[in-house]
Structure 1
Amino acid sequence: MVVLPLSPVMRTRIMPQPPLLLFPTHYLGNLVLGLPWVLRVLERHNEAVAVFDASFRPLLSMLPEADSRALYYPRKELATDKGFTHRLRHYLGFLGELRKYKGHCLIDMEGERFSGAIARFSGCRRRIGPLAKRARWFYSDVLDLDYLAHRYNAFGEIIGDYGAGEPPPSALDFKVAPELADRMRVLLDGHRVNRPLAVIHPGASVRYKLWPREHFARLVRNLYDAGLQVAWIGAGRFDADVIAGIERELENRQLRDSPAIDLCNRLSLPELVALFRQSRLFIGCDSGPMHLAAAAGLPVLALFGPSREAIWAPLGEQSTVLRGELPCADDCDAWHCRNDYHCLRSLTPDMVLARIAALSETGAAHS
């Protein structure tokens, strides 16, 4: 999918103060979709500062223009398993750093209650945020954003005149250090990878986004027979369980060896970017790694079911959303479907393989 144009209704704002972008999301997909706008603002405004979740610092270190102007929200240090004194010390320390920029115009790109509270405590007189419960208490300027448009557009809408002009490219120019690229080559050599690599993330944040494991098993077998090496990626117990289920399906097909290598829970985000740089294509469900692969420039085949393509499709001219042939019922949503989400189940491995063949013919897939 190509980068979408912004809504024609944009708010004109006076910009007497440098911007302070509050963007401590812990969702990888949201981060990737909002980063082009953050980088646009940092490029144009020398005094601009951005706030990110500290867990993303290794990834943002690959974008020096963002990392060098960043404050990091210590989410892990505020977890409930930490002692009260520990949490209070880290939260007050973060607020102390944030309040050094109280002369800035704060823009809450996250729009959650915790970020609204941070905005309120920031000391900034001008605080811009999205319409939500208690928004009038959190912000001085409340905007009713179009959340039915692509989330990339919503981020551009709240940035407003600070990022005015043509929408920034959705691709992100990650700097992969030579030693990181070498480390990834050593890892792949250790798995005796001597074929073009197809990276597959079969997991997702919620179950209704999952493609059937028997579909993945058949797809992987056919990709291997077509000369591609498959690598599983993922993070956490849920993704690992999904991959284990697919591997059991492959065993049931009486394959002597798995045609895929398992890199789940083995890669940091920088290593994942380095892997994408050495891969032919990405296949996966609606997820954060899907958006990261697209932003890193890898051809992406996104397997969509109930997810709203208009909001969450991967961006970039090399990204394609694939859907099944059967539509869901009118009352189908993310939490309920009387047709058992056959919109996703009716997307067959043959349909995915046909699209991969088309990419190969046009030369769209990485060589």
Structure 2
Amino acid sequence: MNIKLMKRIDSVLGSVAACLLPGAPGVKPIRPKRVLLVRPGGIGDAVLLVPAIRALQNAYPEAEITVLAERRNAAVFSLCPGLDRVLLYDQGDLFQVLGGGYDLVIDTEQWHRLSAVVCRLARPQLSIGFATNARKRLFSHRIPYAHDRYEAESFFDLLAPLGIERPASLETPFLVVPAEAAARAKALLGDIERPRVAFFPGASIAERRWGAERFRQVADHLALRGLLPVVVGGGEDAEEGEYIVKRCGGINLAGKTSLVETAAVLARSLLLVSGDSGVLHLAVGLGVPTVSLFGPGIEAKWGPKGEFDLVLNKKLACSPCTRFGTTPTCREKARCLSDIMPAEVVEAVMTVLDKRFPE
């Protein structure tokens, strides 16, 4: 289903249903046998949910855990071993959920209401979700949500009613690349011995694109230092990828890998250079160092926090401007990103690599 269409349906049907359905009764925590996690949305949300899923698996090893995802993010859960089922929110699996007999449902959506409606109609013994609007009526346990809190930590907040504590820091790697995808990545990268630095030039919206010319300059400089630039991304990034590696002799894999295979390529790289994107969070989940470019997005919520992650952010007065996944049209032509110079990115890459791989 088209994403824009789903958002329109949510704004009308979701709002009405969230107000009209009976509220969920408060209940005491249980030891669940059948668990449903609802995760619509993009790749980044799905990746940063995985540590909480693994905590659930450890707390309830005997429980059957199902994820209701979307077609655009479902492949992420192939990187989380031990899940019993992954159903598709937007591809006709909804009725399986409504009759699924789950005793615990956790809605990990932050704002839209339809997922909360689905959780209520599933009639679990215990339901947990973020209390961000009228959707809160539909949960037995309502969890506060903050824009300035790292998203992986916010997902752990959803486990608090179960007595599952958030770890002091996010342990990585928490994603596992399947053997078949790892073999495919090895074949695509070939026998070139130069250490690889991955680039992801794409973004979900134009305001988060740094630009192919800037990525190209970084790739050229890194190639002169003996590194092999490798571009990853979807088919829509293929042309930019070719432009980025044309002069430096790098490898353009944009449009040639699935999401799981992209993860496998990242796992074979020293570092990823990316904007605020789902691919960035894939690298974080794999324990791959990152240099990321932030402007419209909220660094406190989405910026990587690891020892070998470096975020570049000009922190202009007008940024961040994104709220609940919506970024307004920029009158400044995304100056918050364009003011980041290629030389700054090259310096950041070398700083991270020197720290991660000291001589």
Query: Is the Cα contact below 8 Å between 2:69 and 2:87 reproduced in 1?
Result: yes
What is the DSSP-based 3-state SS (H/G/I as helix, E as strand, rest coil) of the residue aligned with 2:167?
coil
**1:336 positional shift:** 4.5
Which of these residues, 34, 44, 48, is aligned with residue 29 of structure 1?
A: 44
- 2:129 maps to which residue? 129
CA distance 1:54–1:306, change in 2 (3 Å): closer
Which of these residues, 234, 237, 240, is aligned with residue 238 of structure 2?
A: 240
Which of these residues, 88, 91, 96, is aligned with residue 94 of structure 2?
A: 91
**1:122 positional shift:** 0.7
Post-superposition CA distance 1:304-360 (Å, at most 9, x none): 122211111023222110124xx5344873425444332211211111111222233
Alignment of 1:73-112 (within 5 A): 73-78=87-92, 90-96=93-99, 98=100, 100-101=101-102, 104-111=103-110, 112=112
Partner letter of residue 86 of structure 2?
Y
- 1:144 maps to which residue? 144
- 1:51 maps to which residue? 67
Q: Distance in 2 between matches of 1:174 and 1:193?
A: 26
Query: Is the Cα contact below 8 Å between 2:223 and 2:248 reproduced in 1?
Result: no
- 1:15 maps to which residue? 29
Count of matched residue pairs: 323
Q: Which deviates more from structure 2 when the two are superposed, residues 106-115 or residues 194-203?
A: 106-115
Partner letter of residue 95 of structure 1?
L
Post-superposition CA distance 1:214-273 (Å, at most 9, x none): 211211111111111111111243x335446x45xx8xxxx7x55332111211222122
- 1:278 maps to which residue? 268
**1:299 positional shift:** 0.7
Which of these residues, 347, 354, 358, is aligned with residue 351 of structure 2?
A: 358
What is the DSSP-based 3-state SS (H/G/I as helix, E as strand, rest coil) of the residue aligned with 2:159?
helix
**1:106 positional shift:** 2.1
Q: Which deviates more from structure 2 when the two are superposed, residues 307-316 or residues 198-207?
A: 307-316
- 1:63 maps to which residue? 80
- 1:83 maps to which residue? none
Q: Distance in 2 between matches of 1:148 and 1:28?
A: 20
- 1:205 maps to which residue? 204
Larger RCO, structures 1/2 (Cα 8 Å, 6+ apart): 1
Identity of aligned residues (%): 25
Query: Is the Cα contact below 8 Å between 1:279 and 1:298 reproduced in 2?
Result: yes
Q: Distance in 2 between matches of 1:62 and 1:73?
A: 15
**1:129 positional shift:** 1.7
Query: Is the Cα contact below 8 Å between 2:266 and 2:283 reproduced in 1?
Result: yes
CA distance 1:300–1:36, change in 2 (3 Å): same
CA distance 1:117–1:332, change in 2 (3 Å): closer
Q: Distance in 2 between matches of 1:33 and 1:241?
A: 29
What is the DSSP-based 3-state SS (H/G/I as helix, E as strand, rest coil) of the residue aligned with 1:166?
coil
Q: Which runs of 5+ in 1 are unaligned?
A: 1-12, 79-89
TM-score when normalising by structure 1: 0.78
Query: Is the Cα contact below 8 Å between 1:54 and 1:72 reproduced in 2?
Result: no
CA distance 1:113–1:157, change in 2 (3 Å): same
Partner letter of residue 169 of structure 1?
L
What is the DSSP-based 3-state SS (H/G/I as helix, E as strand, rest coil) of the residue aligned with 2:158?
helix
Partner letter of residue 109 of structure 1?
T
- 2:16 maps to which residue? none
- 1:328 maps to which residue? 316
Which of these residues, 347, 350, 355, is aligned with residue 340 of structure 2?
A: 347
What is the DSSP-based 3-state SS (H/G/I as helix, E as strand, rest coil) of the residue aligned with 1:73?
strand
**1:302 positional shift:** 0.5
Partner letter of residue 199 of structure 2?
I
Q: Distance in 2 between matches of 1:25 and 1:72?
A: 12
Which of these residues, 313, 316, 331, is aligned with residue 303 of structure 2?
A: 313
Q: Distance in 2 between matches of 1:310 and 1:269?
A: 25
Q: CA RMSD in A?
A: 2.8
Q: Distance in 1 between matches of 2:354 and 2:148?
A: 35
Q: Distance in 2 between matches of 1:227 and 1:91?
A: 51
Query: Is the Cα contact below 8 Å between 2:309 and 2:352 reproduced in 1?
Result: no
What is the DSSP-based 3-state SS (H/G/I as helix, E as strand, rest coil) of the residue aligned with 1:321?
strand
Query: Is the Cα contact below 8 Å between 2:39 and 2:67 reproduced in 1?
Result: yes
